[in-house]
Amino acid sequence: MASIKAEPFDLDFDPKTTALVIIDMQRDFVLPGGFGEKLGNDTSLLLAAVEPTQRVLAKARAAGLLVIHTREGHRPDLSDCPPAKLTRGGQTFIGTTGPMGRILVRGEPGHDIIHQLYPVAGEPVIDKPGKGSFHATDLHQILLDRGIRTLVVCGVTLEVCVHTTVREANDRGYECVVLADCVASYFPEFQRIGLEMIKAQGGIFGWVSDADRFIAAIG
């Protein structure tokens, strides 16, 4: 067993039943010139999460933890994209051609994971059409089959796909530890409040820790 220093209180976990989940570290969200920037966002806020996540990923791989990556995106014919998502905000971005190919379409360069955090053989990649990683995917089955109970969560954006995934996971009985410096938002106030929300009320849907404390916990 191991124990991670976290808020609102330290969490005991078994590395054998713990998975590292890295959410949507895709070029379109994280890199300048992608979907995120096209929406008017400052991508440097997301890039800040890359280096700590690299350290966490290296430690998790060395310790033999299950590592799972997710990507938000749709089939090329957009048949899995609800019209309400397609036209959100009165504009259509998804499926149109951006600097990194068709936006949020599977197989396009912008949809892929940034090279710094690229999956290696044996690490499941979950392609998800929604914000949550459990909706319309086989993630729950993969975790159940491996006996996973605890999720260590990194990725972007905190208040959207990270929050949705952690809430989904919490409702399915997983203990979720979100690493504060390995998640990011385009909005600094959402980053601060998003982390507060997770650990409020005695850990209403999870724990908050950071890269250094995860690395120390694994030993």
Cβ pair 186, 24 in contact under 8 A: no
Q: How far apart are CA 180 and CA 152, in angstroms?
A: 11
Which of 30, 105, 152, 161 lies at the binding interface for ligand C5J (CB under 6 A)? Answer: 161
Contact region for ligand C5J (CB under 6 A) — 5-13, 61-69, 153-161, 210-218?
153-161
- 48: which residues sit within 8 A by CB, 6+ positions away? 181, 184
Task: List the x/- string, 21-40, binding to ligand C5J by CB under 6 A.
Answer: ---x----x-----------
Please tell me whether residue 72 binds ligand C5J under the rule CB under 6 A: yes
Residue type, 195: L
Q: Catalytic: 85?
A: no
Q: How far is CA 166 from CA 32, 90, 169, in A?
A: 27, 28, 5
Q: How far is CA 152 from CA 12, 74, 99, in A?
A: 12, 26, 32
Cβ pair 152, 56 in contact under 8 A: yes
Tell me the chain's radius of gyration from C-alpha atoms.
16
Q: Catalytic: 10?
A: no
Residue type, 70: T
Nearer to ligand C5J, 100 or 156 (CB): 156
Contact region for ligand C5J (CB under 6 A) — 1-9, 116-124, 152-160, 176-184?
152-160
Residue type, 4: I
Which member of 28, 112, 127, 128 is catalytic?
128
Please tell me whether residue 157 binds ligand C5J under the rule CB under 6 A: yes
Least distance in Å: CB of 69 to ligand C5J?
A: 12
Please tell me whether residue 53 binds ligand C5J under the rule CB under 6 A: no
Residue type, 3: S
Which member of 81, 161, 176, 182 is catalytic?
161
Please tell me whether residue 160 binds ligand C5J under the rule CB under 6 A: yes
Q: Catalytic: 182?
A: no
Binding site for ligand C5J (CB under 6 A): 24, 29, 72, 131, 156-157, 160-161
* Active site (catalytic) residues: 24, 128, 161
